[in-house]
Structure 1
Amino acid sequence: MKDRGAPQVCRGKDIMAITLTEKAAQHVQKYLVRRGKGVGLRLGVRTTGCSGLAYKLEYVDELAPEDQVFESHGVKVIVDPKSLAYIDGTQLDFAREGLNEGFKFNNPNVKDECGCGESFRV
């Protein structure tokens, strides 16, 4: 079996592919503390919906060798290589609107979104 090595960790403004706003980072940090474990937040895409792709978020307890790891405001954002092509340059924000709150994706690669906001196309 071939050793793939350690996950690649990227830091610094010029090489950041995925960033978090300060609000998003604070939300993730609070949740990780409450959860009591975890190394960061995994951001990826899955095939679904009218336009083809949807974001997926999950908290990560262990890194895989192929993972790309970006650090923003002290939070690790983990991305698999296949998803990175669709979300490179994305900024993740956390916003509260009325009674609703959640993550907002600012992805410069998006060409079209479905009407319900569930999926996107690049």
Structure 2
Amino acid sequence: MSIILTEPAATQVSKQLAKRGTGLGLRLGVKPAGCTGFAYVVDYADAIEADDTVFEQHGAKVVVKQGDLAYLDGVEIDFRREGISEAFKFHNPNIKATCGCGESFAV
């Protein structure tokens, strides 16, 4: 199992945690949503639970519940600035379909 955190994404995670003043890393998960099935859930990880798996790259951590790993294995998390917008971007090799609005995906 793996989660790939690009250097720009790791830098952004570190910046956000420093600005927030607390936290261990980025928490990534999935939830049922949208017309296709699942949506990403991104939050701060303030604790590591017994059912969490931790991935670390470029000095930043990504924490994922073991139950979500089947949907997220191999995901690359990047951070991009496009014009005045900036956001985490996900490249998920498990996705079989996405909805037209881009809010959800199916595996």
Task: Decide which structure has greater strand share.
Answer: 2
Q: Equivalences for 1:1-122 in 2 at 5 Å?
A: 17-122=2-107
TM-score for both structures, normalised by structure 2:
0.97
Q: Percent identity?
A: 57
| Cα root mean square deviation, aligned | 0.8
The answer for unaligned runs of 5 or more in structure 2 is none
- Equivalent pairs, count: 107
| Aligned AA (1:35) | R
* Aligned mates of 1:23, 1:99 — CA distance in 2: 17
- Structure 1 stretches of 4+ moved >4 Å: none
* Aligned mates of 1:109, 1:61 — CA distance in 2: 27
The answer for unaligned runs of 5 or more in structure 1 is 1-15
Q: CA deviation at 1:111?
A: 0.6
TM-score for both structures, normalised by structure 1:
0.85
